[in-house]
Amino acid sequence: MKFRNYKDGDEHQIVELLNQVYNNWGTVEEWCRKYKLNPNFDPRLIFVCEDKDKIVGCVHYLRRDLKFNSNSLHAYIGGDGATLPAYSGRGVFSKGMSLLYREVKRRRGSIIYGFNSESIYADFYRRKCGEVAVYRPHVLIKILDFEGLISSILPAANRLIGRRIPIKKTNPVTLRLLLDDKITIDLCISGEIKLCKILSEPDITVKTRLRILSDALSDERRLLAALVLRRISLKISGSSVPKLVMLMVEGVKRRR
């Protein structure tokens, strides 16, 4: 594997990589509008990792100054970064970031900055890069079409967590979400999570308010608190208990 800066024509392979990793990331035209046509575009701030002439990883940064106290900081903002799943765990992204830091230090830049989830920040950006989390804005959402939103995010959710679900396709679990006494979402969980129509009694029924559910899903401790305080009511049908116990045992075995 070798690392190098972006060169003209790479955008086709980069976009192919981003689409493989993020599913439906976008088109070459969109990439060009975001990076190449950006007034601050600089090919030396884009690193790609090649294996046998195929781009398997990329790191994008752009120059963008940041206000700090009464000053302006010479800063660089993080853009799209990706590694082909087959190459994950081989230090591709880490090497790309180390090259980027070296380049920014050479330019006497003040800081590099970016946005991440808590776990990615803690595992990589803090531990490996030495970055400091200075601001954690709450993410707020107003749902306009609940069913449309669920069905559009399920493919991505399945890619992320589907492998971890210890439920076989032959023995699916049905889950009914009753939200705010007006929204009913039926889900069927087998090798993946699917929207469905449950005709008999579901295995699990979760009844709560949407606000409480979204708050609980944002943090494991909040979820536990909501369950303990019965802000989320959980009903398991009697006939499903043996099946769910088996699944829990299977889940524990997998973790080990």
CB of 84 closer than 8 Å to CB of 63 = no
CB of 60 closer than 8 Å to CB of 78 = yes
Shortest separation between residue 38's beta carbon and another protein, angstroms: 6
19/190 with CB nearer another protein: 19
231/243 with CB nearer another protein: 231
Please provide residue 224's backbone torsions phi and psi, each rounded to the nearest 5 degrees: -60, -45
24/170 with CB nearer another protein: 24
Site mask, another protein, residues 147-166, x = CB under 8 A? -xx--xx-xx----------
Instruction: Tell me: does residue 39 bind another protein (CB under 8 A).
Output: yes
Instruction: Name the pairing type of β-strands 233-236 and 173-179.
Output: unpaired
Instruction: Tell me: does residue 226 bind another protein (CB under 8 A).
Output: no
Calculate the dihedral angle through the C-alpha atoms of 80, 8, 6, 159, rounding to the nearest 10 degrees.
30
For every residue of 218-250, DSSP letters joined together read: T-HHHHHHHHHTTSSEEEE-GGGHHHHHHHHHH
Q: Which residues between 16 and 35 bind another protein (CB under 8 A)?
A: 22-24, 26, 30, 33-34
Instruction: Tell me: does residue 139 bind another protein (CB under 8 A).
Output: yes
Q: Which residues between 171 and 210 bind another protein (CB under 8 A)?
A: 210
Site mask, another protein, residues 235-254, x = CB under 8 A? --------------------
